[in-house]
């Protein structure tokens, strides 16, 4: 029996990226190896939960799609925990900043490279199913030197939520214009914020 530092567990809809709109159990793990200024997670607070505690919390809900997020879930989650979820019938997705190896047995991996961290691409690493980059006023310049692995076919740009409506509008406009000239990317909106759900 293992113990994890868990920030929050909640049932909602996936609001971002390829799986937008799917009912999902979110397990938000505490702790991160980056400190991005736009992060919307209070990842320093947590309660300690065993793997059995986590299962007892999520099993009563109807969905069998679970999203492991954070913080940075690769700091705590390994293949044994993913196997446990698989054993109970769950499809397991993870959202990671890509700076650490992710479990190979995930069903879906979203990597969201951050400006302050380097995405490691090493031999034998689990390649992401989607890349989702938070887009701000500096992203277009950064993307000019960004190397994409050829195996990733789902590419998303997500306008950064700065908390300032006027700035958000300008960023979203710039993101849309970038995608129009770089159509390999798709727009990801934080739909959970648009419809005011967790």
**Does 164 participate in catalysis according to the annotation?**
no
**Does 175 participate in catalysis according to the annotation?**
no
Question: Which neighbouring-strand residues pair with 119?
Answer: none
**Does 160 participate in catalysis according to the annotation?**
no
The catalytic position among 18, 29, 43, 95 is 95
Please give the DSSP secondary-structure letter assigned to residue 143: H
The catalytic position among 16, 18, 26, 130 is 26
CA distance 172 to 59: 38
The catalytic position among 36, 57, 86, 162 is 36
CA distance 183 to 118: 24
At residue 179, the 3 state secondary structure works out as helix
* Cα angle 191-108-48, degrees, rounded to a multiple of 5: 80
**Does 41 participate in catalysis according to the annotation?**
yes
Please give the DSSP secondary-structure letter assigned to residue 49: E
**CB 99: neighbour CB atoms within 10 A?**
19
**Does 130 participate in catalysis according to the annotation?**
no
Which ranges in 33-185 belong to alpha helices (H)? 51-58, 79-87, 139-143, 165-181
The catalytic position among 3, 40, 116, 173 is 40
Q: In the block, which residue shows the tokens 């700065």?
A: 162
CB–CB of 11/23 below 8 Å?
A: yes
**Does 196 participate in catalysis according to the annotation?**
no
Q: Which residues are catalytic?
A: 26, 32, 36, 39-41, 95, 192
């Amino acid at each position: 029996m293992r113990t994890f530092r868990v920030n929050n567990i909640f049932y909602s809809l996936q609001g971002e990226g390829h799986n937008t709109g799917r009912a999902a159990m979110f397990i938000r793990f505490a702790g991160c190896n980056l400190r991005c200024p736009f992060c919307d997670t209070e990842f320093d607070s947590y309660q300690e939960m065993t793997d059995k505690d986590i299962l007892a919390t999520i099993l009563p809900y109807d969905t069998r799609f679970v999203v492991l997020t954070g913080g940075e879930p690769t700091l705590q989650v390994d293949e044994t925990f993913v196997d446990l979820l698989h054993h109970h019938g769950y499809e397991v997705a993870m959202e990671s900043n890509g700076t650490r190896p992710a479990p190979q047995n995930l069903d879906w991996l979203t990597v969201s490279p951050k400006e302050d961290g380097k995405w490691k691409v090493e031999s034998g690493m689990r390649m992401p199913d989607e890349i989702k980059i938070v887009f701000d006023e500096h992203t277009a310049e950064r993307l000019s030197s960004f190397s994409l692995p050829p195996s990733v076919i789902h590419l998303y740009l997500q306008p950064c939520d700065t908390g300032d409506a006027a700035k958000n509008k300008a960023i979203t406009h710039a993101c849309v214009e970038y995608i129009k000239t770089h159509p390999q990317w798709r727009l990801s909106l934080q739909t959970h914020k648009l419809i005011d759900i967790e």
